[in-house]
């Protein structure tokens, strides 16, 4: 066991050293500095522009226009792009798919033409597999869509229950699937997304070629990877590569670890991560979720799907099922267990248990939170029927801030704060969830250097561009949440006008121009209720502070919580309702008054 830990530590150390070396080399590569590109901000490798095509893999264009576009190689078309994360994902629009899905057109049922290469992978997540068969051909499946004139579409509830015997004249199609479960699964269009969430993975060979050898990544003879124009490798690069290669071979033969199989990790190592949690069998949780029935889905994200389940003792639970048991997913699984078992707070979701290291799949078991996500209540299908009152939204903001302040006091950064990860119980009490990306933060550190992970629209610019993760990264994301509570708008929406696609940017513009009333959800009574207007004005000012590009200009979570608690007080409501708007707009025009503005907001409720 000790040798396993030593080995794992060395591999992580080598990989981390290589990553830091890459960051150092990036600054030394002439002519390949990150560049500014419209709403996408500053971006760099693997993205580049047409002026410097050798500085990246994917060309991004129209940086001077409101909406940008991306091209994956010379042969592919341009795609509109409205969010980008340099390490993880990007969200693009295929014009044909967007139009045909929106119009429920049968021409939507064709595979997307995303390229593949020896040095990068583009994976649509999540996706749904469809089977397109001529009208006279039948296929055993859970659902059948028959509204197309020449063919039928067959599909199943889950991806792991696909038909084994598919007729040759049936084509297999993969299309982007919605993150949240559809109410009517018999209508295939209710399952499809009109935008594409793509995970981008660049191979280690290509990363080394670009950063270390100053070369270009190409597909060589017989499709093999080739580093064109590479400079002579340094001794440290060779040493690092030899380190990784040597220990990978030892790791594979000694521990028989395969990246797609959790059982490859040493049993006692995995057993130790349970931290005393109750262990549930796979069969028990499979039965509880009715074999992971699609109709039992509660939510769907980048790493797994959550299902509603009922245990044999009658308890309602939420079961998280990872997409794949890759090594990265195992680390996320272990991380969430470690984080949640050391925390106790009324506004954090409770972890009930997990499957054992011998289970065929990794499953986590949580308390069931029946009222769904804040995102669903703000802009879901039924949001307009029964909208959240302002008092409920203030309570959500305060309780979420309380949970995040507790995390930060416990040296933990959530790293994926968003309304889809804020759940509401039967009493509309907040339960912050999804700690798979969370990080332990050393108390004596100013920041952590790590590749950006999170959700487009919520990602801290400093973390995105400079790999600096701090507690203020959560503060930025929480600022977006505050704007969502004020506006009832999602953080990214391609259906909005170009200058409104990114909610954070739109909100900053509205506050600076004195047009806050145009941002506020009309259902909140902003123009008719003096007390509500005062609270919304102060929350808008607080969100503006949270969304500052420079993290040093943002308040910490304890300060955020104090302002929110004070802004909900009766004294604050009566004193501050009328005069804040003019003061806020004056402060926006005179940046030197911004600190005074937040101080004024606080003094109204702290005195």
Residue pair 80/66 in contact by the 8 Å Cβ criterion? no
320 is in an annotated binding site: yes
Q: What is the pLDDT of residue 251?
A: 53
Asked if residues 78 and 66 have their Cβ atoms less than 8 Å apart, the reply is: no
Catalytic residue, chosen from 88, 94, 300, 416, is 416
pLDDT at 117 over 70: yes
Residue 194 annotated to the active site: no
Is residue 561 predicted with pLDDT exceeding 80?
yes
pLDDT value at position 593? Answer: 34
**Digit-coded pLDDT (tens) for 497-531:** 888 889 999 999 888 888 899 999 999 999 898 88
Cis peptide before 453 (omega within 30 of 0): no
* Three-state secondary structure call for residue 194: coil
CA gap 403, 175 in Å, rounded: 37
Could you tell me if 488 and 379 are in contact, meaning their C-beta atoms sit under 8 angstroms apart? yes
**Alpha-carbon distance 42 to 26, whole Å?**
14
Greater model confidence, 52 or 606: 52
For residue 310, with 0-12 CB atoms within 10 Å meaning exposed, 13-18 middle and 19 or more buried, which class applies?
middle
Spatial separation of the C-alpha atoms in residues 38 and 299, rounded to whole Å: 32
* pLDDT for the residue numbered 262: 40
Q: pLDDT, tens digit, for every residue of 209-268?
A: 888 888 889 888 888 899 988 765 444 455 555 556 655 555 555 444 443 344 434 444
The pLDDT assigned to 245 comes to 62
* Whole-number pLDDT of residue 322: 75
CATH 1.10.510.10 in the chain is located at: 372-571
More confident residue, 189 or 486: 486
DSSP 517-555: HHHS-GGG-TTT-HHHHHHHHHHHHHHHHHT-SSGGGSP
Confidence of residue 591 (pLDDT cuts 50, 70, 90): very low
Q: Considering the entire predicted model, what is its pTM?
A: 0.57
Q: Compute the C-alpha angle 293/294/298, nearest 5°.
A: 105
372-571 folds as Transferase(Phosphotransferase); domain 1 (1.10.510)
pLDDT for res 466: 66
Report whether 321 contacts 307 (CB < 8 A): yes
Across 101-118, average pLDDT: 87
The yes or no reply on domain 276-368 and CATH 3.30.70.920 is no
Other C-beta atoms lying within 10 Å of the C-beta of residue 198: 22
Residue keyed to tokens 């004596």: 444
**What pLDDT is stored for residue 324 in this prediction?**
62
Residue 77: strand, helix, or coil: coil
d(CA 545, CA 542): 5
Is the pLDDT at 555 greater than 90? The verdict is yes
**Cα(151)–Cα(289) distance, rounded to whole angstroms?**
33
Q: Label residue 224 exposed, middle or buried (CB < 10 Å: 0-12, 13-18, 19+).
A: exposed
For the chain, give every residue range classified as CATH 3.30.200.20: 276-368
Q: Could you identify the residue written with the tokens 């792009």?
A: 81
Of 189, 188, 192, 105, which is closest to residue 149 (Cα–Cα)?
105
Is the pLDDT confidence value at 337 over 60? Answer: yes
CB neighbours (10 Å) of residue 331? 11
Q: Using CA atoms, how far apart are residues 22 and 86, in angstroms rounded to an integer?
A: 14
Mean pLDDT of the chain: 77
Contact 357, 265 (CB under 8 A): yes
Q: What is the 8-class DSSP label of residue 558? A: H
Higher pLDDT, 446 or 39: 39
By residue count, the chain amounts to 607
- Digit-coded pLDDT (tens) for 443-460: 444 444 454 566 888 988
- Tokens 């044909």 belong to 96
> What gap in Å lies between CA 289 and CA 361, rounded to an integer?
14
What the block records as the tokens of 511 is 């506050």
pLDDT per residue as tens digits for the range 137-174: 888 888 889 999 999 999 887 665 666 778 888 998 98
Cβ-in-10-Å burial (0-12, 13-18, 19+) of 91 comes to buried
Beta bridge partners of 499: none
pLDDT tens by residue, 341-393: 878 889 999 888 888 767 788 888 989 999 989 999 999 877 888 899 999 99
């Amino acid at each position: 066991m000790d040798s396993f830990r030593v080995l794992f530590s060395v591999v992580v150390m080598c990989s981390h050293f290589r990553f830091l070396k890459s960051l150092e080399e990036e600054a030394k590569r002439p002519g390949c500095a990150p560049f500014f590109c419209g709403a996408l901000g500053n971006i760099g490798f693997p993205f580049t522009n047409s002026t410097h095509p050798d500085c990246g893999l994917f060309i991004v264009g129209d940086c001077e226009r409101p909406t940008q576009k991306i091209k994956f190689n010379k042969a592919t078309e341009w795609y509109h792009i409205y969010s980008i994360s340099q390490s993880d994902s990007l969200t693009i629009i295929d014009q044909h798919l967007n139009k045909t899905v929106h119009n429920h057109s049968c021409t939507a049922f064709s595979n997307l033409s995303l390229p593949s290469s020896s040095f990068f992978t583009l994976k649509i997540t999540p996706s749904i597999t469809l089977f397109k068969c001529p009208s006279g051909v039948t296929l055993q499946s859970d659902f059948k869509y028959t509204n197309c004139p020449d063919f039928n579409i067959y599909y199943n509830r889950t991806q792991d229950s696909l038909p084994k015997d598919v007729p040759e004249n049936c084509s297999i199609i993969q299309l982007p699937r919605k993150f949240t479960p559809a109410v009517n699964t018999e209508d295939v269009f209710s399952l499809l997304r009109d935008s594409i969430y793509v995970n981008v993975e660049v191979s280690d060979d290509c990363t080394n070629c670009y950063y270390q050898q100053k070369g270009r990544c190409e597909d060589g003879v017989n499709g093999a990877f080739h580093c064109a124009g590479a400079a002579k490798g340094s001794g440290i690069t060779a040493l690092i590569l030899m380190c990784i290669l040597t220990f990978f071979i030892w790791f594979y033969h000694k521990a028989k670890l395969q990246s797609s199989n959790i059982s490859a990790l040493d049993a006692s190592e995995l057993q130790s991560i349970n931290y005393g949690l109750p262990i549930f069998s796979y069969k028990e949780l499979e039965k509880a979720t009715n074999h992971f029935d699609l109709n039992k889905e509660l939510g769907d994200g980048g790493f797994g799907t959550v299902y509603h389940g009922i245990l044999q003792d009658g308890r309602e639970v939420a079961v998280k099922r990872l997409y794949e048991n890759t090594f990265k997913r195992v680390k996320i699984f272990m991380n969430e267990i470690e984080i949640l078992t050391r925390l106790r707070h009324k506004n954090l979701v409770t972890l009930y248990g997990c499957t054992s290291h011998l289970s065929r799949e990794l499953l986590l078991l949580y308390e069931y939170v029946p009222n769904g996500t804040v995102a669903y209540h703000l802009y879901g299908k039924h949001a307009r029927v029964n909208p959240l009152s302002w008092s409920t939204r203030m309570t959500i903001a305060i309780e979420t801030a309380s949970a995040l302040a507790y995390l930060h006091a416990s040296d933990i950064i959530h790293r994926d704060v968003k309304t889809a990860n804020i759940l509401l119980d039967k009493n509309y009490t907040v339960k912050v969830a999804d700690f798979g990306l969370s990080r332990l933060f050393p108390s004596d550190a100013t920041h952590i250097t790590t590749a950006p992970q999170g959700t487009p629209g919520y990602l801290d610019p400093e973390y995105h561009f400079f790999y600096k993760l701090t507690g203020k990264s959560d503060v930025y994301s929480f600022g977006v949440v505050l704007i969502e509570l004020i506006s009832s708008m999602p953080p990214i929406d391609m259906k909005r006008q170009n200058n409104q696609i990114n909610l954070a940017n739109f909100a900053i513009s509205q506050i600076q121009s004195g047009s806050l009333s145009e941002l506020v959800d009309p259902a909140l009574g902003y123009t008719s209720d003096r007390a509500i207007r005062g609270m919304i004005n102060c929350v808008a000012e607080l969100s503006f502070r949270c969304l500052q590009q420079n993290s040093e200009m943002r308040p910490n979570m304890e300060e955020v919580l104090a302002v929110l608690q004070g802004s909900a007080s009766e004294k604050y409501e009566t004193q501050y309702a009328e005069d804040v708007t003019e003061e806020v707009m004056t402060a926006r025009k005179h940046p030197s008054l911004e600190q005074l503005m937040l101080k004024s907001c606080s003094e109204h409720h702290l005195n």
